[in-house]
Amino acid sequence: MSVWVRTVVLLLLGIGALFHSPLRFDIPTTAPGLSDSRQGHLISNMLDEPVPPLGEFMDSLDYAGGDAVVGVYVPGTLAMPVVQQPVGAPSFISNQANVVTQFELASQYGNAGLLAHNYLAGAKILQLEIGQLIYLFFDDGSMQVYIVSELLHYQALSPKSFTSDFRSLDYSSGQLSAQDLFYQIYAERKGVVLQTCISSQGVLDWGRLFVIAVPNDNWRLRMLGFGK
C-alpha cells in the first residue's frame, strides 16, 4: 500500500466524518461547532423527511452513463441521491441534508461505500436493520438489490485522531488499527457499506457504524420469474 493511500485510510477511519484535517485536505471543521440543540434540530428534520414511492424516486435521479452510484433507496426508511467525491478530495462528505457520498477508495476494492454525517443523512442510516432491502441505482440506469446482513459498531479510542485505534462493540476482538479496520470493512467483503458516526457521551464522532449489505440474488431471480 502506498504512503498516500495509507494516509487516506487512516484519515477516513480515524476521524470518521472525514473533515477534521484542513491542513491536509482543506476540509471545514463543521461538526465540533454544532451545539446540542442544533444537532438535535438537524436530526429531527432528517427523520421527518418522507420517503417517496420507489418509482417516483427513480424518476428523480440523474443518469449520465457510467458505473457510479446515483441513488440509494430503502423502503420505508430512506431515499437519497448519491454524489461523488471531487477528484483529489478523498475525505469529502456532502453537507447536504438528504444526500450521501460515494467513497471512491472503497470502489477500488469492488465495493460501494456510502458515507454520511450522523446529524444529516446518517441519522437514517442509524435506523437500518438486518434483513432490510437496499436498492442501488447506477449511472447507466441499472439497479441492484442488496440485503442488510450485518451491523458493525466500533468505538474510536481517540475520536479526533486520524491514527485512532478502534474497539468492536459487538465482539471481543481487542483493538484494531484504522488500516486493519478499513481492510476488514471495505476490502474483505463485496457489496455495499453504509458508514456513519455513532454519537455518545456528548461526542459526535465517538464511534462508527458500518451497515453491511450483500447482493440479494434471490430477489433478482424472483423479479425475472425464475424464483418462487
Q: In CATH, what number is assigned to the domain containing residue 179?
A: 2.40.260.10
pLDDT category, 30, cuts 50, 70, 90?
Answer: very low
Quote the pLDDT of residue 37.
59
- Over 70: is that where the pLDDT of 146 sits? yes
> E strand or H helix at 192, and its extent?
strand 192-200
Quote the pLDDT of residue 66.
84
Dihedral-angle region of residue 147 (phi above 0 means left; psi in -120 to 50 means alpha; beta otherwise): beta
- Over 60: is that where the pLDDT of 20 sits? no
Q: What angle do CA 15, 21, 22 make, to 5 degrees?
A: 155
- Over 50: is that where the pLDDT of 32 sits? no
Quote the pLDDT of residue 24.
32
Dihedral-angle region of residue 191 (phi above 0 means left; psi in -120 to 50 means alpha; beta otherwise): left
pLDDT category, 125, cuts 50, 70, 90?
Answer: very high
Domain encompassing residue 132: 3-224
Quick one: CA dihedral 183, 71, 30, 23, positive or negative? Answer: positive
Render 132-174 in DSSP notation, one character per residue.
-EEEEEETTS-EEEEEEEEEEEEEESSTT-TT--EEESSS---
- Over 70: is that where the pLDDT of 2 sits? no
Question: Among 14-18, 132-136, 195-199, where is mean pLDDT lowest?
Answer: 14-18
Quote the pLDDT of residue 191.
94
Global pTM reads: 0.80
CA neighbor of 95 nearest in space, from 12, 27, 176, 183 = 27
- Find cell 442501488 and name the residue: 136
Give the number of other CB atoms < 10 A from CB of residue 87.
7
- d(C-alpha 62, C-alpha 219), whole Å: 25
Between the ranges 16-20, 144-148, 169-173, 199-203, where is the mean pLDDT highest?
144-148
* Amino acid letter, 150: E
Question: How far is residue 59 from each of residues 44, 98, 101, 138, 183, measured CA to CA in Å?
Answer: 27, 17, 20, 13, 35
Taking the CA atoms of the chain, what radius of gyration do you get in angstroms?
Answer: 17
Going by C-beta distance under 8 Å and a sequence separation of 6 or more, which residues neighbour residue 158? 14, 164, 165
- pLDDT, average across residues 23-38: 41
- pLDDT, average across residues 8-19: 43
- Share of residues in the chain with pLDDT > 70 (%): 75
- d(C-alpha 33, C-alpha 119), whole Å: 12
| Grid coordinates belonging to 55 | 418509482
The DSSP code for 32 is G
- pLDDT, average across residues 70-98: 91
* Number of separate domains in the chain: 1
- Over 50: is that where the pLDDT of 173 sits? yes
Q: What is the mean pLDDT of the chain?
A: 79
- pLDDT, average across residues 83-102: 88
